[in-house]
Amino acid sequence: MRSLRQLGLVLSVILWLVECQGAAQTSKPNIIIILIDDMGFNDVSFHGSNQILTPNIDALAYNGVILNRHYVPNLCTPSRATLLTGKYPIHTGMQHFVQIPDEPWGLPLSERLMPQFFREAGYATELIGKWHLGFWRQDLTPTMRGFDHHYGYYNGYIDYYDHTHHMRDKNYTTGVDFRRDLQRWQQDNGTYATEAFTTEARRVIEQHDRSRPLFMVLSHLAVHTGNEDQPMQAPPEEVAKFAHIADAKRRTYAGMVSSLDRSVGETVRALSDRGMLNNSIVLLYSDNGAPTVGIHSNSGSNYPYRGVSNNCLQGVRQPLTDFLVVQQKESPWEGGIRSAGAIWSPLLQQRGYVSNQVIHAIDWLPTLAAAAGVRLPADLQLDGVNVWPSLSGNLEPQSRRLLHVLDDIFGYASYMRDQLKYVNGSSFQGRYDTWLGELPADEADPLSAYYVQQVLSSQVQQVLGTRALTNERIEQLRAAATLRCPANEQNHTQPLYVCQPLEAPCFFNLAKDPCERYNLAKLYPLQLQLLEQELQQFRLNAVPSARVATPDARANPALHGGYWEWWNGTTTTGGSSSSKWSIFNWVWLSCLSCLLVAL
């Protein structure tokens, strides 16, 4: 009798556990992060430009929340490290430059990453596209770091069609940089990268086991340049849509953006077709601003923000030629660090508005984890905060202190307390510290006369279409998300206001001066000092750069069958992928059936 009661108790506990688990599985939202590479703030039409229309991205933004003050580190590798760790690059050792293919370093293995936390919470985790956080040892690669699967590449960029990576200043063989998980992959040779990644995203979604939530990072090559022999690549039929753009390079760029926009439409549609969209969070943003000018720029535009971003090109070791000098530093300005972004989810209580909450890439890990009910380890020291309540409730913007750049090797820094922004040192030796990428006024897409109709007939709007998005609302949101540098009676070219960051630190009040034209350092020296002291606190807590800048010729693809591949034999054994979760389920289920049989 007693044992029977005990058995009953055990049984109900088991049933309860299974039930809880089941409920947790189905209710956790799918997380889809669409990460764009090197796209300018001014290159999505929801920020007001009529030159390149992005109706799918815009529809996602207008139905969701436009992230109007979204900040990111100014370079690929640091930006990606920040997204996955929720920490500033100075706290992971990722603050200095990008990972060059033959350099033996990567995101330190001591860091626990976003996909690991989501996987432990029962998610299927997928990375599609770019990694750029190191691969010299196999245990640094995505499937060893929390992603169940990876389809894509390890380096900063590849050729859009043959998926090779050529290292420009080395005598190495050009190598294929494309894999499915750890396997070399050449089956998709010839497929335009944006299309290949979109097809893979659709496949993942279509074949997804819906009893589990999905965590997917769709990390595009677009709109980064390809190899330097052919940096600008887009399908001819996409480029043909932009006859109104005179500059051939910018026209091809427009084709790259346009393919990307279509990809967003197809991805959202796939989620909808699979019945997953109504329980998804879709976040889209660019990893940093566009490299507007300089050799191998993509001609993207951050206008009217100041400055540009670097792209992930290499060749910086010997500062001899113009190119090498030009590539030495990156941008502290808004143009490099303020990223076009939007988030959409039915789980957001307030939608269809422009958010002026300051958000940084450090925030996405705690924010998405909170939104999904994914518990993070108590000992995890994050820099980011959970901004979900703020986004979901459209709350008053919270006060923030953000470190934008602190690279004491290249010697420049950029820091922000609320609206006050401090800049010391600069990139490209100050050469590109101006306002670049202004688009010709007479190059509007003829279809922009029907802009609202373009948005309303986009794939994304067709899918999300139940919520009424009126013409007026679209116009209002677009106007609110469009930046114009405010007029000021003062002449900003007066010596009093001019910022020469290579000579002396500057600061700006972004509330009145988002375009960083009026340096206030001479007017308010005490304020400058305060900002400097705050920055100094960050400096004291910085860990040394993890970069190992010593090239290792064993990286040469010639030594690896023509592929870019780890060259250090070290591997981590065990701990493979999703097996933990399913074994857990299986054990409980078999216990349960034993008991049922016993009864």
Ligand X SMILES: *[C@@H]1O[C@H](CO)[C@@H](O)[C@H](O)[C@H]1NC(C)=O
Separation of alpha carbons 407 and 411, rounded Å: 6
Nearer to ligand X, 470 or 490 (CB): 490
Q: How far, in Å, CA of 172 to CA of 159, rounded?
A: 16
Catalytic option among 76, 312, 499, 506: 76
Q: Which of 12, 211, 230, 278 binds ligand X (CB under 6 A)?
A: 278
**CB of 579 vs ligand X, minimal distance in Å:** 27
Q: Is 183 in the site for ligand X (CB under 6 A)?
A: no
Residue 550 near ligand X by CB under 6 A: no
Residue 213 engages ligand X in binding (rule: CB under 6 A): no
User: Could you give the dihedral angle defined by the CA atoms of residues 345, 59, 68 and 213, in that order, rounded to the nearest 10 degrees?
Assistant: 20
Binding residue (CB under 6 A) for ligand X from 89, 300, 505, 514: 505
Query: 24 or 511, CB closer to ligand X?
Result: 24
| The binder of ligand X chosen from 8, 190, 389, 561 (CB under 6 A) | 190
Nearer to ligand X, 242 or 428 (CB): 428
Window 123-152: residues binding ligand X (CB under 6 A): none
Q: Applying CB under 6 A, does 465 fall inside the site for ligand X?
A: no
Task: Please tell me whether residue 162 binds ligand X under the rule CB under 6 A.
Answer: yes
Q: Under the criterion CB under 6 A, does residue 569 sit at the interface with ligand X?
A: yes
| Per-residue DSSP letter, 298 | -
Q: Tokens for 589?
A: 């289920």
Identity of the residue, 139 or 181, whose beta carbon is nearer to ligand X in the bound complex? 139
489 near ligand X, judged by CB under 6 A? no
Burial of 464 per CB tally in 10 Å (0-12, 13-18, 19+):
buried
Q: Which residue has the tokens 């996405």?
A: 364
Instruction: Tell whether residue 319 is a contact of ligand X (CB under 6 A).
Output: no
Query: What does the block give as tokens for 590?
Result: 């078999």
Residues 441/525, Cβ–Cβ less than 8 Å: no
> What's the CA gap between 329 and 62, in Å, rounded?
35
Site residues (CB under 6 A) for ligand X, limited to 405-444: 411, 424-425
Q: From the list 207, 318, 494, 533, which residue makes contact with ligand X (rule: CB under 6 A)? A: 494
| Binding footprint of ligand X, residue count (CB under 6 A) | 20
Among 568, 577, 578, 585, binds ligand X (CB under 6 A): 568
Residue 590 as a binder of ligand X (CB under 6 A): the answer is no
Q: How far is the CB of 429 from ligand X (least distance, A)?
A: 12
Between 493 and 573, CB nearer to ligand X: 493
Residue whose tokens read 């796939």? 270
| 176 is a site residue for ligand X (CB under 6 A) | yes
Tokens of 466: 């139940």
- Contact (CB, 8 A) for 136 and 564: no
DSSP string, 334-350: HHHHB--EEEE-TT-SS
Three-state DSSP at 63 gives helix
Q: Is 187 in the site for ligand X (CB under 6 A)?
A: no
**Is residue 279 within the footprint of ligand X (CB under 6 A)?**
yes
Confirm or reject binding of residue 570 to ligand X (CB under 6 A).
Answer: yes
Q: Distance of alpha carbon 111 from its chain centroid, rounded?
A: 18
**Judged by CB, which is closer to ligand X: 94, or 354?**
94
Nearer CB in complex with ligand X: 215/451: 215
96 part of the active site: no
Whole-number minimum distance, CB 397 to ligand X, in Å? 28
Shortest gap between Cβ of 502 and ligand X (angstroms)?
Answer: 8
Q: Which of 11, 532, 549, 592 binds ligand X (CB under 6 A)?
A: 532
Of 47, 70, 96, 132, which residue is the catalytic one? 132
DSSP for residue 310: -
- Whole-number Å distance between alpha carbons of 307 and 301: 10
Cis ω for the linkage preceding 223 (within 30 of 0): yes
> Which 3 state secondary structure label does DSSP give 564?
coil
468 burial via Cβ count (<10 Å: 0-12, 13-18, 19+): exposed
Tokens representing 519 are 């340096």
Scanning 6-14, 149-157, 273-281, 387-395 for contacts with ligand X by CB under 6 A, the matching segment is 273-281
Give the list of residues 6+ apart from residue 364 with CB closer than 8 angstroms, or none. Answer: 33, 83, 86, 114, 283, 384
Active-site residue, 560 included: no
Gap between the Cα atoms of 599 and 588, Å rounded: 17
Q: Where does 77-227 show beta strands of DSSP type E?
A: 124-130, 149-153, 164-165, 175-176, 179-180, 183-184, 214-219
Of residues 1, 2, 5, 171, which one binds ligand X by CB under 6 A?
Answer: 171
CB of 587 to ligand X, least distance (A): 29
Angle in degrees, 0-180, between the axes of helices 471-480 and 55-63, rounded to the nearest 10? 90
Q: Which residues are catalytic?
A: 76, 132
Residues that bind ligand X (CB under 6 A): 162, 171, 176, 186, 189-190, 275, 278-279, 411, 424-425, 491, 493-494, 505, 532, 568-570
